[in-house]
Structures are given as C-alpha cells and as structure tokens.
Amino acid sequence: MTKIREPLSIEHTLHLLLKSVTAEEVKQYTEKSISHFYKCADPDDKDHNLFLQDAIKLEQLAMYKNLGISLLDCFTRMSFDDVFNRLSKLGVPSTDDKNIRDQMIDIIHKTSVLMQTIKKYTTADTGKITSEAKKVDINRIYDLIFQLETNIVRLKKNILSK
C-alpha cells in the first residue's frame, strides 16, 4: 500500500534514502534491520521513531554513497510552524506554550551545532589531524548528541504533562 508522506519530511527523506541503499549496508552502519527503518518512515506508525544516533549513522551512509540525501537537513528545514503543527497533531493543547517553544529553539540550535561539528569532522583532511584531535572531535560529537537527546527527553516529558 502506498503511503502519503509530506514532501521534505523526515519520513519522506528516510524512505528515499532506504530505497537507495541495501539492507546489508543499513545493517552494517546501524546494526538495525532495514525493516525497522521502513517502519520509522511510515507516517502512520507512531510506535517506531527515528533516533538521532541512527539518523547520523544513516547520514554517514548516504554521504559515503554520495546520495545527496540528508536526514539531518530535514531538522533544520522544519520551521517552527511545522514543529508546532506536529505537536498539535500529537494532542498538545497549546502550541503557544513558552516553555515548549524555548525547548524547541534549544533543540534546533543544538542540532545545527551538531551538524556543523559533524561536517567539520567528516570534511577535514585526516592526514593533517592528530589522533588526539580526532578523539576531541569524536568526544564533542558524542557530547552534543547526549545534550540533544537530553533536551528531546525533556520536551517529550513537557508535552506528555500537558
């Protein structure tokens, strides 16, 4: 059955990426099955969500294969109205809640910083970078992912408490 996905949505972009890679490649990069990610790409499936760490791993796969498909760009393309429309669909009573808006701004900012850090790390000339500098960059990326995931958990709790 054909699923209708909003253009440029995370679900749409994930579906395009999955059609361009093999099940073995997905398993190699994420240690998860391709069927799991097809479930994440289903806009009607609320039980399967794409985690940021998986999105980053799939982003690396797409970059390795020169696909020109970017899951992380979906996060930055989303306007605040898109975000709050999605929250409304989840049943959040008030999209004008300042605390939710502040948390969303912080999440979008941290996502942007993470993307810039990953881009810097993946485009740097590895021959000129010391192993010490690589460790620092990798630790920074992991710290940013942890901060972002923490903020997302806070946002989810805030939404659920409404």
* Domain range list for the chain: 1-77, 78-162
pTM of the model: 0.52
Interatomic CA distance for residues 61 and 69, integer angstroms: 10
Residues 85-97 as b or e (16 or more Cβ within 10 Å = b): eebeeeebeeeeb
Interatomic CA distance for residues 38 and 43, integer angstroms: 10
pLDDT, tens digit, 9 for 90 and up, residues 113-134: 787 777 777 776 666 667 777 7
Of the candidates 111, 10, 27, 113, the one whose C-alpha atom is nearest the C-alpha of residue 69 is 10
SS3 87: helix
Percent with pLDDT over 90 in the chain: 14
